[in-house]
Copies of this chain bind each other. A is one copy, B any other.
């Protein structure tokens, strides 16, 4: 079965509308999932561990059924054993990736140190940065269990200085993913609990007898996990709810077309809803990439997923020039943006919205997914217009510091009282006025 790829041309009169249609993606809200999740969360809040135990035994088909929550705790020794048992090359790769992720995220931490300044009258103002106390990391189980995601979610929290990192990972049929456990060991996760689903989100948010409540929950999950995270938001912090993954390749036609085709595949192989789009001003080059796609597809183990994704949601777009490509890229605000071109920096300077930018033909997205250092948890579905990669800052918060001197209270008090009376808040005004020295 061949692959049908959509071709668009920015010169088409209805191009904008076609592009909008292509990009449109709305996570549907499934009422049955919503109700099921609401019931599970309510039950976990009421019955605590007993509820989590019941759901886990049932949904994850735990062989024999666990008798207590203790059965789901993975001892640190087991994490270390998983790490020790890894093939040497795999272990080295994980450790290299972790070291590089740490270095990049340390730079984020250095950037955000807080500040203090003192005004001439002695009033001190500032902003203090502190880490969260305790966070929960959700790691999907089964086929979508990615050790790289353990590193990308846990290490920023670790670098931020979070004291307790609780990782939950479901183990369908009781099967543990050893590479995931090894990644938890490398990342320095405090505690691993083999529970998942809405029940794990509820346990982390509300706490149970065996699990202390966390301050924030991050990490991807299925529709039940996403719905549960939305519902506990406010009780705890959450990261963005991720949509399907996307890549946008801006190409001036100077890169080996096989490379670009494989970069598009690397997004498309994630799942059938993933989106891979190329923008290029060179029609002949677009044809060469398309030929590479047809040539390379049969060799891919995940060819079926790639074919569906590329046919349903992919596109090869002919643009007038690279400047127009940048304008379109800003409208798309892609999760991953590859600028595969000569002197890519000139185009990068024109990009305002993208989760991560991959510059030059050697920066394949897959390098960034695993081991460049920056985070692979990135804003999807155009949310790069207003949100950022997961980072150390997601595990820190700021507090304002205000230390008004007696002299400062004299000038500030009059300003505050004037405005407070204007807003009809007299106690605010009086509170400021009480600090004024009586007129001489």
Interface residues of A (CB under 8 A from B): 27, 89-90, 92-94, 96-97, 104, 107-108, 111-115, 117, 123-125, 127-128, 130, 132-133, 143, 146-148, 179, 215-216, 234, 236-237, 241, 256, 258-259, 262-263, 265-266, 268-270, 300-302, 306, 344-345, 348, 351-375, 378-379, 381, 383-389, 391, 393, 397-406, 408-409, 412-416, 418-420, 422-432, 434-435
- A-B residue pairs in contact (CB < 8 Å), sample of 23: A27-B234, A92-B418, A96-B415, A104-B125, A111-B111, A111-B113, A147-B419, A268-B427, A301-B426, A354-B399, A356-B399, A360-B403, A361-B435, A362-B404, A362-B435, A366-B428, A367-B416, A369-B428, A370-B432, A371-B412, A374-B401, A384-B397, A384-B399
Q: Could you tell me the distance between the alpha carbons of A369 and B364 in the complex, rounded to whole angstroms?
A: 49
In the complex, the chain B residue whose C-beta lies closest to that of A349 is: B128
- The answer to whether A93 and B415 touch across the interface, beta carbons within 8 angstroms, is yes
- The answer to whether A400 and B357 touch across the interface, beta carbons within 8 angstroms, is yes
- The answer to whether B111 and A117 touch across the interface, beta carbons within 8 angstroms, is no
- The answer to whether B374 and A125 touch across the interface, beta carbons within 8 angstroms, is yes
Q: Could you tell me the distance between the alpha carbons of A96 and B263 in the complex, rounded to whole angstroms?
A: 54
Q: Could you tell me the distance between the alpha carbons of A439 and B195 in the complex, rounded to whole angstroms?
A: 45
Q: Could you tell me the distance between the alpha carbons of A347 and B367 in the complex, rounded to whole angstroms?
A: 47
- The answer to whether B366 and A416 touch across the interface, beta carbons within 8 angstroms, is yes
- The answer to whether A400 and B355 touch across the interface, beta carbons within 8 angstroms, is yes
List chain B residues, Cβ under 8 A from A365: 431
Q: Could you tell me the distance between the alpha carbons of A436 and B356 in the complex, rounded to whole angstroms?
A: 22
- The answer to whether A366 and B432 touch across the interface, beta carbons within 8 angstroms, is yes
- The answer to whether A112 and B115 touch across the interface, beta carbons within 8 angstroms, is no
- The answer to whether A357 and B419 touch across the interface, beta carbons within 8 angstroms, is no
List chain B residues, Cβ under 8 A from A430: 262, 265-266, 300
In the complex, the chain B residue whose C-beta lies closest to that of A95 is: B415
In the complex, the chain B residue whose C-beta lies closest to that of A428 is: B366
- The answer to whether B97 and A435 touch across the interface, beta carbons within 8 angstroms, is no
Q: Could you tell me the distance between the alpha carbons of A10 and B358 in the complex, rounded to whole angstroms?
A: 56
- The answer to whether B97 and A420 touch across the interface, beta carbons within 8 angstroms, is no
In the complex, the chain B residue whose C-beta lies closest to that of A376 is: B400
Q: Could you tell me the distance between the alpha carbons of A146 and B132 in the complex, rounded to whole angstroms?
A: 32
List chain B residues, Cβ under 8 A from A241: 234
CB-CB nearest 9 A-B residue pairs: A237-B386, A374-B400, A265-B427, A93-B418, A356-B400, A359-B403, A388-B398, A362-B409, A366-B428
- The answer to whether A367 and B409 touch across the interface, beta carbons within 8 angstroms, is yes
List chain B residues, Cβ under 8 A from A415: 93, 96-97, 370-371
Highest count of chain B CB atoms <10 Å: which of A146, A266, A399, A432: A399
List chain B residues, Cβ under 8 A from A435: 259, 361-362, 364, 367
Q: Could you tell me the distance between the alpha carbons of A354 and B126 in the complex, rounded to whole angstroms?
A: 13
Smallest Cβ distance from A212 to chain B, in angstroms? Answer: 13
Q: Could you tell me the distance between the alpha carbons of A179 and B29 in the complex, rounded to whole angstroms?
A: 42
Q: Could you tell me the distance between the alpha carbons of A27 and B104 in the complex, rounded to whole angstroms?
A: 39
Choose from B266, B345, B361 the contact partner of A427 (Cβ within 8 Å). B266
- The answer to whether B127 and A374 touch across the interface, beta carbons within 8 angstroms, is yes
List chain B residues, Cβ under 8 A from A259: 431, 434-435
- The answer to whether A404 and B148 touch across the interface, beta carbons within 8 angstroms, is no
Smallest Cβ distance from A337 to chain B, in angstroms? Answer: 8
Choose from B113, B128, B408, B431 the contact partner of A265 (Cβ within 8 Å). B431
List chain B residues, Cβ under 8 A from A386: 132, 215-216, 236-237, 397
Highest count of chain B CB atoms <10 Å: which of A143, A306, A366, A375: A366
Choose from B354, B360, B404 the contact partner of A363 (Cβ within 8 Å). B404
- The answer to whether A402 and B148 touch across the interface, beta carbons within 8 angstroms, is no
Smallest Cβ distance from A328 to chain B, in angstroms? Answer: 15
List chain B residues, Cβ under 8 A from A132: 385-386
In the complex, the chain B residue whose C-beta lies closest to that of A94 is: B419
List chain B residues, Cβ under 8 A from A124: 359
- The answer to whether B357 and A426 touch across the interface, beta carbons within 8 angstroms, is no
List chain B residues, Cβ under 8 A from A389: 398-400
List chain B residues, Cβ under 8 A from A104: 125
- The answer to whether B113 and A366 touch across the interface, beta carbons within 8 angstroms, is no
